[in-house]
């Protein structure tokens, strides 16, 4: 720590680059001899280390610190995502306390200084802000100023598992002494206090919940159910937040649908076709939102921590204006003027066409559950009643009612729909639930009786060709704008990713839950684009290879400080969202082999 203090003391108050701190120039001695000059931006206090890097060139006064705390100091050996998430949340109050001491509403953060830590919402995700990695203890002792003395080889220790926590620090402008206090005294003190007060019992409770979530998720994958909602879950959220609503009605399964999984009782939603109905403001969309949230694990106290859903599930909606490239949408759109719907492209899809494209791409990504709300769907895509079928003989759209059962029977893709305004789905669904005042009832038998012979009894369409097998041309798949020698990557708070010449609208990707997932998507796409690409790319295989690399290296390896509008903190998104992002690119070209088009 005194080496860092030495660098800072050498700087003038008006220093804005902090070059000496980032370089970490050291004079290396061995056996009383100066052997060489080196650079080391890792600093130590005791056996806790931290690495200081420049966040990006426009934020040299806001360094990123990666703290490395040996897990033995915290008293545990678990290195799971759940353990890292717990530690990040447990560390947050110590950073919040430092910021409270610094707080001065009369001064901006650039003058006052501030510690910046990722405060995640309820989801438990792999992150670059809290993870585990192996690091070797230091191999030298501090000398005077910037000199270090190498330890004898026999004192070198093997790498050990460390908890890595990412903190950004906004340094106070023209105030080196306060900078020294923040980096060399206050932050190390907070880290030491976090270690000393670490609640191992709290961690054990988190790990027990994570084990239960994992067990339920594994059980679901091999069962006849696609989702599970535990009794007592709090599904509604406080307005404008991700927090559970106070005084909300706890969820309670209908008696006939109640199952027990590893000691947890709740409602199992069977695979197949399920409709959730009810009057306005009854809680049906809230239930669907909770099912959608169940693709991720949630922290204790979220209210949805035991809402577990098939992890490949995707929320589908209409998306007017999106780009579609070389896609087979023939199961839903039989023909279009001047277009082959088995190999269809458009720069501005209509509501029905976009929803058909979203379903086809989602199925192609490997999803086994579709989640749909009629309020966000194209009406002419979702339904067409008997009278309209008789009136309109030449209709290119095959409504979803005519394919929803085939999706499950042929491909094993289940669907959960929120429907409040049409009875067309009652005759093609396997299970029907009704919400009343946030309480759920199984009304399948009643609905089937009411349906009688008034449901869909017209001739069903022939079996569809669901094959895609699209390949991506490498040309145009680049982060370099045309005529430019510099990459372009920017992520906006409004949901757009700008890369190369592309402006990709992600607002139709409803399963993205944080800005940090958006930033990660941008860096993941950029990595795919700068990787060696020749001719035609099997993009699904390339995406799978990327996730395998992230599994080994962690998502942090994708970050580049070159891009100044991208955030430093990254949350890992799913494979489905990355593939959906690529499908929304307007400047790329896809190719579908002729044999697949005709099959």
pLDDT for the residue numbered 388 = 76
Instruction: Tell me, yes or no, whether 462 lies in a domain.
Output: no
Least confidently predicted of 18-32, 39-53, 235-249, 456-470: 456-470
- Would you say residue 456 has pLDDT above 70? no
Q: Is the dihedral of CA 51, 56, 57, 58 positive or negative?
A: negative
Q: Do 432 and 333 share a structural domain?
A: yes
Percent of the chain with pLDDT over 90: 83
pLDDT for the residue numbered 145 = 87
Query: Pick the residue with more confidence: 265 or 144?
Result: 265
Q: What is the mean pLDDT of residues 415-432?
A: 92
Q: Do 527 and 446 share a structural domain?
A: no
- Beta-carbon contacts of 329 under 8 Å, excluding residues fewer than 6 positions away, are 341, 342, 344, 353, 356, 357, 360
User: In the structure, what pLDDT confidence band is assigned to residue 424 with cuts at 50, 70 and 90?
Assistant: confident
Q: What is the mean pLDDT of residues 455-468?
A: 78
Q: Do 477 and 435 share a structural domain?
A: no
Instruction: Tell me, yes or no, whether 417 lies in a domain.
Output: yes
Domain boundary among 141, 176, 198: 198
Domain boundary among 152, 168, 198: 198
The total number of structural domains in the chain stands at 3
Q: Do 217 and 270 share a structural domain?
A: yes
- Beta-carbon contacts of 201 under 8 Å, excluding residues fewer than 6 positions away, are none
- Would you say residue 317 has pLDDT above 90? yes
Q: What is the mean pLDDT of residues 224-248?
A: 96
The CATH number for 317's domain is 3.40.50.300
Mean pLDDT of the chain: 94
Q: What is the mean pLDDT of residues 340-353?
A: 95
Beta pairing class for 147-150 and 140-142: antiparallel
Least confidently predicted of 133-142, 283-292, 457-466, 575-584: 457-466
Exposed, middle or buried by CB within 10 Å (0-12, 13-18, 19+), for 14?
Answer: exposed
pLDDT tens by residue, 29-74: 988 889 899 999 999 999 999 999 999 989 999 999 999 999 999 9
- Would you say residue 454 has pLDDT above 70? no
Q: Do 423 and 388 share a structural domain?
A: yes
pLDDT for the residue numbered 458 = 57
Residue 578, SS3 per DSSP: helix
C-alpha dist (Å) from residue 506 to 402, 454, 515: 29, 40, 11
Q: Do 190 and 140 share a structural domain?
A: yes
Q: Do 242 and 145 share a structural domain?
A: no
Q: What is the mean pLDDT of residues 301-311?
A: 98
Q: Do 490 and 445 share a structural domain?
A: no
Instruction: Tell me, yes or no, whether 461 lies in a domain.
Output: no
Exposed, middle or buried by CB within 10 Å (0-12, 13-18, 19+), for 478?
Answer: buried
- Would you say residue 364 has pLDDT above 60? yes
Enter the DSSP assignment of 217.
Answer: H
- Would you say residue 457 has pLDDT above 70? no
Instruction: Tell me, yes or no, whether 40 lies in a domain.
Output: yes
Instruction: Tell me, yes or no, whether 364 lies in a domain.
Output: yes
pLDDT for the residue numbered 121 = 97
Closest by CA position to 144, among listed 33, 2, 21, 1: 2
Least confidently predicted of 31-35, 124-128, 277-281, 454-458: 454-458
pLDDT for the residue numbered 151 = 86
pLDDT for the residue numbered 599 = 46
Q: Do 217 and 352 share a structural domain?
A: yes
Domain boundary among 151, 173, 198: 198
Instruction: Tell me, yes or no, whether 439 lies in a domain.
Output: yes
User: In the structure, what pLDDT confidence band is assigned to residue 298 with cuts at 50, 70 and 90?
Assistant: very high
- Would you say residue 392 has pLDDT above 90? no
Q: Do 300 and 214 share a structural domain?
A: yes
Query: Pick the residue with more confidence: 573 or 388?
Result: 573
- Would you say residue 338 has pLDDT above 90? no
Instruction: Tell me, yes or no, whether 460 lies in a domain.
Output: no
pLDDT for the residue numbered 152 = 85
Beta pairing class for 114-117 and 160-170: antiparallel
Domain span at 559: 471-598
Q: Do 173 and 226 share a structural domain?
A: no
Prediction pTM value: 0.94
User: In the structure, what pLDDT confidence band is assigned to residue 222 with cuts at 50, 70 and 90?
Assistant: very high
- Beta-carbon contacts of 221 under 8 Å, excluding residues fewer than 6 positions away, are 310
pLDDT tens by residue, 133-187: 999 988 888 888 889 888 888 888 899 999 999 999 999 999 999 999 999 999 9
Q: Do 94 and 45 share a structural domain?
A: yes
Q: What is the mean pLDDT of residues 327-336?
A: 95
Beta pairing class for 130-135 and 160-170: antiparallel
Cα 423 to Cα 106: distance, rounded to the nearest angstrom: 60
Instruction: Tell me, yes or no, whether 324 lies in a domain.
Output: yes
């Amino acid at each position: 720590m005194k080496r860092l203090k030495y660098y800072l003391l050498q700087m003038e108050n008006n220093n804005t680059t902090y070059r000496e701190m980032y370089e970490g120039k050291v004079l290396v001695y061995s056996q009383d001899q100066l052997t060489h000059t080196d650079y080391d931006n890792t600093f130590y206090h005791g056996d806790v280390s931290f690495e200081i890097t420049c966040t990006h060139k426009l934020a040299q006064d806001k360094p990123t610190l990666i703290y490395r705390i040996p897990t033995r100091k915290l008293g545990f050996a678990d290195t799971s995502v759940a353990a890292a998430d717990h530690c990040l949340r447990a560390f947050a109050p110590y950073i919040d306390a430092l910021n409270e001491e610094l707080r001065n509403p009369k001064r901006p953060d650039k003058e006052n200084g501030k510690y910046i830590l990722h405060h995640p919402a309820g989801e438990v995700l792999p992150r670059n802000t809290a993870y585990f990695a192996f690091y070797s203890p230091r191999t030298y002792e501090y000398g005077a100023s910037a000199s270090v003395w190498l330890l004898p080889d026999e004192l070198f220790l093997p790498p050990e598992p460390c908890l890595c926590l990412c903190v950004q620090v906004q340094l106070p402008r023209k105030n080196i002494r306060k900078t020294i206090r923040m980096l060399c005294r206050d932050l190390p003190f907070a880290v030491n206090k976090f270690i000393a007060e670490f609640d191992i019992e709290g961690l054990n409770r988190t790990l027990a919940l994570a084990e239960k979530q994992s067990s339920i998720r594994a059980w679901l994958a091999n069962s006849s159910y696609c989702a599970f909602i535990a009794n007592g879950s709090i599904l509604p959220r406080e307005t404008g937040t991700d927090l559970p609503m106070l005084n909300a009605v706890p969820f309670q399964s209908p008696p006939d649908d109640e199952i027990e999984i590893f000691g947890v009782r709740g409602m199992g939603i069977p695979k197949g076709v399920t409709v959730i109905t009810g009057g306005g403001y009854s809680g049906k969309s809230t239930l669907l939102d909770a099912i959608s949230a169940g693709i991720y694990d949630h922290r204790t106290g979220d209210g949805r921590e035991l809402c577990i859903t098939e992890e490949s599930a995707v929320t589908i909606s209409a998306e007017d204006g999106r780009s579609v490239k070389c896609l087979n949408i023939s199961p839903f759109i039989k023909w279009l003027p001047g277009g082959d719907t088995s190999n269809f492209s458009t720069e501005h899809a209509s509501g029905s066409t976009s929803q058909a494209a979203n379903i086809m791409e989602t199925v192609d990504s490997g999803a086994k559950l579709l989640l749909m709300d009629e309020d966000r769907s194209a009406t002419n895509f979702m339904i067409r009643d008997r009278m309209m079928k008789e009136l309109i003989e030449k209709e290119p759209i095959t409504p979803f009612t005519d394919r929803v059962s085939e999706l499950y029977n042929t491909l094993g893709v289940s669907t959960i729909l929120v429907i409040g305004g049409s009875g067309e789905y009652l005759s093609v669904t396997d299970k029907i639930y009704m919400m009343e005042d946030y309480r759920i009832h199984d009304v399948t038998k009643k609905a089937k009786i009411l349906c009688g012979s008034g449901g869909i009894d017209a001739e069903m369409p022939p079996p569809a060709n669901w094959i895609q097998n699209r390949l991506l041309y490498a040309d145009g798949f680049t982060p370099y704008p045309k005529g430019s020698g510099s990459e372009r990557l920017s992520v906006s708070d409004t949901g757009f990713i700008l890369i190369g010449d592309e402006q990709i609208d992600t607002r139709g990707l409803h399963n993205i839950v944080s800005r940090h997932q958006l930033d990660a998507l941008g860096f993941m796409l950029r990595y795919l684009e700068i990787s060696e690409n020749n001719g035609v790319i099997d993009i699904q295989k390339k995406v799978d290879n990327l996730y395998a690399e992230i599994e080994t290296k962690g998502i942090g390896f994708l970050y580049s400080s070159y891009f100044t509008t991208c955030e430093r903190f990254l949350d890992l998104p799913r494979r489905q969202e990355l593939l959906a992002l690529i499908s929304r690119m307007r400047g790329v070209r896809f190719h579908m082999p002729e044999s697949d088009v005709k099959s």
